[in-house]
Amino acid sequence: DQQVKQNSPSLSVQEGRISILNCDYTNSMFDYFLWYKKYPAEGPTFLISISSIKDKNEDGRFTVFLNKSAKHLSLHIVPSQPGDSAVYFCAARENSGTYKYIFGTGTRLKVLA
C-alpha cells in the first residue's frame, strides 16, 4: 500500500513559469515532510522540508505548502529554470521517533527553454 503518492509521473513547464509538484499521503501520523531532487546517475539531493505544525515553508525559489486536512503537500518552484529539470520525490516521516522516511514514486519535471 503506497502511503505517499505522487500521481503525476511527469510535468513540463515553460522556463520562467511556476512549477507545481503535488504529493498526497494517507497516514495522518506523518509529522515531517521532505522534498528531494534527483538528477540522472546521482543520489537524491535535499531541497526543502516542512513540519506538520506549519502550513508553508519557503527557501528562495522553492516553497512547500502543507494541507493537513487534505493530506496533501505541494512544491512550488518560481521561476522555473532549465536546471530544475530532474525527478522530484516527496518523503514523509511517521511521528514515532523514527528516522525512516517513506518516499513517493517521483515526478519528472522538464523545464523548457
Partner 1 sequence: DTGVSQDPRHKITKRGQNVTFRCDPISEHNRLYWYRQTLGQGPEFLTYFQNEAQLEKSRLLSDRFSAERPKGSFSTLEIQRTEQGDSAMYLCASSSTGTAYEQYFGPGTRLTVT
| Residue numbers 78-97 binding partner 1 by CB under 8 A | 89, 91, 93
SS3 of 1, please?
A: coil
Buried b / exposed e over 74-93, threshold 16 CB at 10 Å, is bbbbeebeeebbbbbbbbbb
Q: Is 25 in the site for partner 1 (CB under 8 A)?
A: no
**Cα distance between residue 36 and residue 94, in whole Å:** 18
Q: Is 105 in the site for partner 1 (CB under 8 A)?
A: yes
Among 46, 54, 81, 95, contact with partner 1 (rule: CB under 8 A) = 46
Q: Is 34 in the site for partner 1 (CB under 8 A)?
A: yes
**Cα distance between residue 106 and residue 66, in whole Å:** 18
Segment near partner 1 (CB under 8 A); pick from 40-48, 55-63, 68-76, 78-86: 40-48
By beta-carbon proximity to partner 1, the closer residue of 41 and 113 is 41
